[in-house]
Amino acid sequence: MKAPTIDAAVEQIEGGDRQPLYLVIGEQVLASGAATRIADALAAGSGCEVAIYTRPVELGSILADLLTFSLFEPAKVSLVCDSAVFADRTAAADLIDEAEAALPVAAGETLSTAQKEAAGRLLQALRLFGVAADAGTPDEAVSSLPDWALQGGSRIRRRNRRGRTKKQAAELARDLSSLLEAARAEDLYGWSDSDLAELGRAADGGLPEGHSLVFAERTADGAHPLVRRLVESKAAFEVGSLEFDRRGGVAGLDAVVAELTRETGIGIDRGAARELARRTLRKTGNWGDSAVEADSAARFAAEYRKIAAGMRGTSGRIDRSAVEESVVDRGEEDVWKVMSAIDGQRPGAALALLRRYLDSADDRTRARFSFLSLLAGRCQQLATVHGIAMTHDLPEERDFNGFKARVLPRLMAELPDKQRKPRPYALFQIFKAAMARRDPEAVGELTELPWKILETEVRLRGGSGDGDTALEALVAAVAGGGAAEIAAGAGRGRRTG
């Protein structure tokens, strides 16, 4: 069955065929844009304005307003963006991460707008696990959340795949209890089962004639009864999301750019869009996930709007130079690109990629040690493969198929059992790097690597005033460069410490 489209929905609405409840799911820029089109069509047909609610703390007042007639307008259309009302339990950790951003909350403090949004995220997380916001003490309510929800969602696991430590999770739980206490003091209780039941009645035609409610959500639980009902009635739409592809590009970027162009009236060159994506977009912290982190997608849109605002009233387009001048590079660098440049003895490229990798890290110190551990393992593999290749006079193979047939069996047989064996293609890359280091000078450098790695670790642990320089010196040595390559980037505003 062909999925319904936004264009078809708008045409139906303009033709008088309208429904009381709509749901649009996808990247927030796309979902909000598509939901706005639907809401505008509904409002135009009813002769009213659209009331917009972004990340509302609770649903009750929105529903109550929709269920009453207005003395001044013939109908009402409400657009709710990013409420997470249809989220499933897997979203709980991300909701907690978003709530953490506004912490701590001082005792007796009136909640700011950002803190009310944070309270809404916490209340949503509690609802997903059937915990009433007003049940028991705040400590008891928060302690009802599963441990994994407090250990961290995608944003936290970008820094550390294990998430928060027990101590950090306990501190977060205390701060969340304070936030819940403040929310209760201001009579904020989030979504309730009765609200969700009211939504179900609205979908069945329970709103006054001409009144409609439109949701724009990043994610929705396909098993949610109301979501299933909206899908069946062709009132639910998926508009796509951003994902990194295997070639380093971003699938779905053209759709996001098209929506931002429509919204701002300012277009962007293809190269400029790719550069903006490179500087802003990051992967989630979920292992093997190619999805784009929601916060970074929001930053892409915000930076686009910022540049476009400065060009308002002109007929120009955003070009690459505008992006480079206006947007700080905080995109994600693939650590394996750094390793590939090191293997290929391209020290200049390796150092440039390393600096970008560190600049994009949420925790720079942790990123340094993580990279050092990875590089130390690579150096051990390189030295081992180099020794086997020289001892057994293995033939140089630049073709992967030839390597698999003539070299791989001998290498696998000689690799120490206690050493983790790389996969065939990874071993092929290490073998090529080893064969490129056959001259006496390179052999001497390989024998010195264990000492250089130990020296770098000592410097990172406090023996150096500049942690980046310590790591860069090691990378330059492994990649075959020296002081000239390190100095080439000295004036680029690297952070230190």
pTM comes to 0.71
Residue 209 binned pLDDT confidence (cut-offs 50, 70, 90):
confident
Q: How far apart are CA 227 and CA 470, in angstroms?
A: 54
Separate counts of helices (H) and strands (E) for the chain? 24, 7
Residue 466 binned pLDDT confidence (cut-offs 50, 70, 90):
confident
Q: How far apart are CA 75 and CA 343, in angstroms?
A: 66
Q: How far apart are CA 249 and CA 316, in angstroms?
A: 26
The closest alpha carbon to 153, from 99, 215, 196, belongs to 99
As given in the structure block, the two tokens for residue 480 are: 């075959």
Q: DSSP string spanning 270-312?
A: HHHHHHHHHHH--B-SSTT--BBPHHHHHHHHHHHHHHHHHTT
Residue 407 identity: V
Residue 359 vs residues 276, 329, 332, 353, 365: alpha-carbon distances, Å:
16, 8, 9, 10, 11
The closest alpha carbon to 142, from 169, 160, 115, 110, belongs to 169
Q: What is the pLDDT of residues 116-126, one digit of tens each?
A: 988 988 998 88
333 alpha-carbon distance from chain centroid: 13
Label the pairing between strands 250-251 and 212-217.
unpaired
Mean predicted lDDT score pLDDT of the chain: 85
Domain coordinates in residue numbering, the chain: 6-85+193-238, 89-185, 250-326, 335-488
Q: What is the CATH number of domain 6-85+193-238?
A: 3.40.50.300
The closest alpha carbon to 416, from 450, 458, 387, 374, belongs to 387
Q: How far apart are CA 408 and CA 455, in angstroms?
A: 33
Of the listed ranges 15-24, 73-82, 185-194, 371-380, the least confidently predicted one is: 185-194
The secondary structure element, H or E, covering residue 213 is strand 212-217
Quickly tell me which residue has 């795949």 as its tokens.
161
Kindly tell me if the per-residue pLDDT of 492 is higher than 50.
no
3 alpha-carbon distance from chain centroid: 27
Q: DSSP string spanning 384-444?
A: HHHHHHHHTTPPP--SHHHHHHHTHHHHHHHS-TTSPPPPHHHHHHHHHHHHTT-SHHHHH
Q: How far apart are CA 143 and CA 127, in angstroms?
A: 13
Work out the average pLDDT over 135-156: 88
